Structure 1
Amino acid sequence: MVYCRNTSGQYGKATIDGYYQKLSAAFAELTKQAPRSGDGFRSLKVDCANGIGALKLGEMERYLSQGLSLQLFNVGTEGRLNHLCGADFVKSYQKPPQGM
């Protein structure tokens, strides 16, 4: 958002809405490279590590493609931040986060 603001909007809108639009458009372009299953539906499972990302990804979901099934895990309703989940847990223990 800072770059958007500093370029007077040439890079995009310096708002949360603008950020979600830009990020979801980039994600859509990236996923065009991934193969689809037989029904043409894509599924994305996200470990939110009991952090703020769960809330923000929940807000961003409406910007994502209709052909995408989004499943959020470790969304902060239970547990502590990064406890038995998150990137460091997966790297250190070489196993999936709790609940996935």
Structure 2
Amino acid sequence: MSKEYPCVYYRGNGLCRYGNDESEANVCVMGPCPYQTPSNGDRIRVMSDEELAETIYGLQKEIARHVVIRLGYPGKILAFEESSPQLLEWLKQPAEQEG
């Protein structure tokens, strides 16, 4: 994990609270925490726009393949572009304001 997304045991000022140790000697490694496995959300939050676009695009292709099979067209070959330029463009746009 990076400093932007410290692990759940990080308590600030470079200290760690793993094992309920609140002493000043319990220093955080500020790297991959040996006591914490990143969640799927953690992995998504540290992805670049390009990585996220490729991941979402891959999921879209997999869903489309499953739909074609469920509709009874298992021999149908789906053609996809090799990249996801529109998705990447959308990810880089400013977020729309709610309300």
Q: Kindly indicate which of the two structures has a greater share of residues assigned to strand.
A: 1
TM-score (norm. length: structure 2): 0.27
TM-score (norm. length: structure 1): 0.27
Structure with the greater alpha carbon radius of gyration? 2
